[in-house]
Amino acid sequence: NAGVMQNPRHLVRRRGQEARLRCSPMKGHSHVYWYRQLPEEGLKFMVYLQKENIIDESGMPKERFSAEFPKEGPSILRIQQVVRGDSAAYFCASSPVATGELFFGEGSRLTVL
């Protein structure tokens, strides 16, 4: 049973470009969480999704950021018109139940030049 898969592991973008980060949860997990880790800070919640539904996106910036978890395929975190402050590691985690143990991917490190 493969773990949570995130890709790309590393992504470099210039200011103004778009970044797309993908997350395939563990088999049988329908709850997906995205976290951002900024330098010298811990994991900050961004968004919580179930299949085809955004349950809570209160941790996500109102502009430029969006997330989806379609019926088929991975969850995608999309950042439009990236700025340098978006440079961070983005972690995805999945769980079989809403408040269960999280299984993390290895993260996607976004660098904005």
Chain positions contacting another protein, by CB under 8 A: 4, 31, 33, 35, 41-43, 45, 48, 55-56, 58-59, 91, 93, 98-107
Neighbours of 39 (CB within 10 A): 7
- CA dist., res. 86 & res. 13, Å (int): 10
Residue type for 52, please?
E
Q: How far is the CB of 99 from another protein (least distance, A)?
A: 5
Residue 103: CB minimum distance to another protein, A: 7
5 or 76: CB nearest another protein: 5
Q: Give Cβ neighbours of residue 77 (< 8 Å, ≥ 6 apart).
A: 20, 21, 23, 34, 46, 47, 65, 66, 67, 90, 92
Closer to another protein at the Cβ: 86 or 90?
A: 90
The distance of closest approach from Cβ of residue 1 to another protein in the complex, given in angstroms and rounded to an integer, is 15
